[in-house]
Amino acid sequence: MRYGHFDDQNREYIITRPETPLPWINYLGCEAYFGLISNTAGGYSFYRDARLRRLTRYRYNHAPFDVGGRYLYLRDNDNGKFWSPSWQPTRTQLDHYECRHGMGYTVIGSTCRKIAAQTTYFVPLGETLEIWKLKVTNQRKQPARLSVFSSIEFCLWDAQDDATNFQRNFSTGQVEVADGVIYHKTEYRERRNHFAYFACSEKLAGFDTQRDTFLGAYRGWDNPAAVERGKSFNSVAHGWAPHGSHHVKVTLKPGQTKEIIFVLGYHENPADQKFDPADSQTLNKNSVKPVVAKYLDAKNVAMAFEQLRSYWGGLLGKYQVQSPDVHINRLVNIWNACQCMATFNMSRSASFYESGIGRGLGFRDSNQDLLGFVHMVPARARERILDIAATQLKSGGAFHQYQPLTKRGNNDIGSGFNDDPHWLILGVAAYLKETGDWSILDQPVQFENEPGSEQPLYEHLRRSLNYTLERLGPHGLPLIGRADWNDCLNLNCFSDTPGQSFQTTTNKEGKVAESVFIAGLFVLAAKELAAIAARRGLAKEVTQYLAEAAKMEQVVFQHGWDGEWFLRAYDDSGRPIGSKVCPEGKIFIESQGMCVMAGLGLNNGKARQALNSVHQHLATKHGIVLQQPAFSKYYIHMGEISSYPPGYKENAGIFCHNNPWIIIAETMAGNGTRAFDYYTRINPSAREKIGDLHRCEPYVFAQMIAGKDAPTHGEAKNSWLTGTAAWTYYAATQWILGLRTEYDGLRVDPCIPAKWKGFKVTRVFRGDTFNIEVRNPKAVEKGVRRILLDGVEISGQLLRPTGEGRSHNVVVEMG
């Protein structure tokens, strides 16, 4: 069954049935204020940090799914019937329903009892607030006397504490209501100087700020007492659960439309100006009032919405493709880029699968996210790189995660994931290749956020590489530590205690378990650092890094090659993992992808062999599984990977994040048809037609699709916040379409399906705009015969920007 369709022209996905298999969500906000919103208005909001500055509550793992949201109710005052125009939470049958998820906004519209309602939700640029603009139209032949109720439940800021510390929380909640604006100010009386507010453009008939008064005892959001009786209680929260609800009465003539604006926002006061009068406990509202007034004005709202639309037009305009395949077009041009923005902002912290409590920004995750984001807002990518690098340990290692609000390493998760440091090199390399901004390398950056420890960013990269050289195992391969990219391959963990975290429990001081994956990553990073060092004129370092890379390659072929594919690792007893000799888990995807991407085996046939082994043993019609055979039981010496039932997550699931590694590797080996086929297998738009199996949103990639060992093979989970976003974007734009950023320019090197006759790309690169037409008259997969730049043939395949903001016409002939 189909639940909706793409509207590529408007850059929207339109959902036409509210009961999607899972909540199909969107993200609001792209700077500091964020929200998640489902197709039925579920979701929550926060300022910067989903754990530490949560504005509204949401109930994870609730039945029904997706409870807590930006709810509105319409009530017919003549007969008392009421419904939610977003379907949830009353789930009243609607005569028409449509949810349009767009770039940074969502519009939910419906018709019920001849009343049409349409709500536009978005976060204006530069503000820490969200707007809900409701438009109600009376389609009846008689006047309609209606009540509108809004409803949100405030979170007491720290989402973790909010959900657990009830002995305190039931007593701390505080609000103020003034001039129709509801202020949530829990803990403002003591150490917080921030508060939330919820305002409405209309004169109120009433309000509620105490959740349980609004709802009534034993009632849910589907049937609030205030809505049922058609009158707010004007409740003021003292403790318990602060809530925000406005009640507005409107009478509409036949055909009449009315717009009502709600503004939910976050605001900070200077610490010495918290109260007004100063010696009172009353919230100082002076600086927030103009903001509220501005956005309760329909003209300003309309302008802010237009600004958001054109902002996104600009971001997406940096890379636009027209190819014969609609799925790659809409993903690259619209949704995959949008998903990259979400992963850049949120890493893996806040989605409908990630509670926003457990994880801040991951060191390795955020660095990889840069790959898909850096071309959109390079200045923010720069800032992110410096923030991440400042959490790096002096040893070159990394805190595995850090909190976006404090920008400090998160000690709860610890460190010792031995792949982490290399991703910083790759992140910085991606930034340099996009921008040519070499000055970043000289920027002084702290270690462990310690004042006085500043060193140029370049020194951080050196230490990242050395980290591995100082941690080599018995075969000369990198020690794996707690885990490498695969968080769940825990070779030093040996956990036998139920519920113990594989991620954080004390590990053996592992001096034996090694990772072939890190070896590949090391080679890739060392080559990048050598290229960077060369441009800094550091000849000795260049030689050294290239020598280390060559040595590591040799070690990999000597101890990391299993005959037909790359091994995955050695365990704590020195036994191979990912080898024919293993009873299960004989071949893994990660080392094939990473080693070939690092160039290993490209000139001795082994890359081809490894990729063919992937094709033979790991590829399924829904994507490439992580390993085979799946682990049928728990292996204590391998850890979390074998804790998942076969076919799920890291135990032979299609862990989409690493599929693009194989896609890229295939393009390096010249196999465009196969690369594109792999890409299409996990492309959510191409999977739209199997929506009931896939279940997740058809417009964004999912972290995982159940593998062939799972009873639900083909079912996706954990959409939106996944490294898949950046890697698929990078694979599609830079390797399949082949417009690859390099230190000195933009390389044109497509690797496409032979049947493609060509394609066009517009790429904005370092200020210049390249309008590129690729022709493929000989039906090849790779290879460029000649390139005309503004009518003149160039030698080589590199487009060099002038930096003068010029437009160029480029014709590329493959063959």
Active site residues: 487
Helices vs strands, H then E, count in the chain: 20, 43
Length of the chain: 815
Rounded Cα gap, residues 67 and 150, in angstroms: 15
Residue showing tokens 């005052």: 77
Q: Contact between 235 and ligand GLC (CB under 6 A)?
A: no
CB closer to ligand GLC out of 323 and 718 = 718
Q: Contact between 640 and ligand GLC (CB under 6 A)?
A: yes
Residues 701-760 that bind ligand GLC (CB under 6 A): 703, 722-723
Using the CB atoms, write b or e for 346-361: b if 16+ within 10 Å.
Answer: bbbbbbbbbbbbebbb
Q: Contact between 365 and ligand GLC (CB under 6 A)?
A: yes
Q: Contact between 51 and ligand GLC (CB under 6 A)?
A: no
Q: Are 287 and 305 in contact (CB under 8 A)?
A: no
26 closest CA partner among 341, 427, 445, 450: 341
**Nearest-approach distance from CB 501 to ligand GLC, in angstroms:** 8
Q: Contact between 781 and ligand GLC (CB under 6 A)?
A: no
Binding residue (CB under 6 A) for ligand GLC from 86, 503, 642, 728: 503
Q: Contact between 650 and ligand GLC (CB under 6 A)?
A: yes
DSSP label of 801: P
Binding residue (CB under 6 A) for ligand GLC from 362, 421, 576, 698: 362
- Piece in contact with ligand GLC (CB under 6 A), picked from 226-234, 424-432, 480-488, 555-563: 480-488
103 closest CA partner among 210, 18, 26: 26
Helices (H), 296-356: 298-316, 326-330, 336-346
Q: Contact between 247 and ligand GLC (CB under 6 A)?
A: no
Rounded Cα gap, residues 232 and 259, in angstroms: 21
CB closer to ligand GLC out of 365 and 434 = 365
Structure tokens at 521: 């990553």
Residue showing the smallest CB distance to ligand GLC in the complex: 487
Q: Contact between 199 and ligand GLC (CB under 6 A)?
A: no
CB closer to ligand GLC out of 180 and 358 = 358
224: left (phi over 0), alpha (psi -120 to 50) or beta: beta
Q: Name residues whose C-beta falls within 8 Å of residue 697's C-beta, 6 or more positions apart in sequence.
A: 13, 24, 25, 684, 719, 720
Residue showing tokens 């197709």: 39
Binding residue (CB under 6 A) for ligand GLC from 127, 487, 528, 715: 487
Q: Are 730 and 717 in contact (CB under 8 A)?
A: no
Residues 654-683 that bind ligand GLC (CB under 6 A): 657
CB closer to ligand GLC out of 68 and 360 = 360
- Site size toward ligand GLC (CB under 6 A) is 16
- Piece in contact with ligand GLC (CB under 6 A), picked from 234-242, 481-489, 551-559, 614-622: 481-489
Per residue, the 3-state secondary structure of 246-259, as one string, reads: EEEEEEECCCCEEE
- Piece in contact with ligand GLC (CB under 6 A), picked from 307-315, 482-490, 515-523, 767-775: 482-490
* Cβ-based burial of 760 (10 A; exposed 0-12, middle 13-18, buried ≥19): middle
Q: Contact between 348 and ligand GLC (CB under 6 A)?
A: yes
CB closer to ligand GLC out of 160 and 612 = 160
**Nearest-approach distance from CB 657 to ligand GLC, in angstroms:** 6
Q: Name residues whose C-beta falls within 8 Å of residue 47's C-beta, 6 or more positions apart in sequence.
A: 32, 33, 34, 53, 55, 128, 194, 266
**Nearest-approach distance from CB 662 to ligand GLC, in angstroms:** 15
CB closer to ligand GLC out of 70 and 400 = 400
**Nearest-approach distance from CB 358 to ligand GLC, in angstroms:** 7
CB closer to ligand GLC out of 176 and 354 = 354
Under the rule (CB under 6 A), what is the footprint of ligand GLC? Answer: 348, 362, 364-365, 485-488, 503, 640, 649-650, 657, 703, 722-723
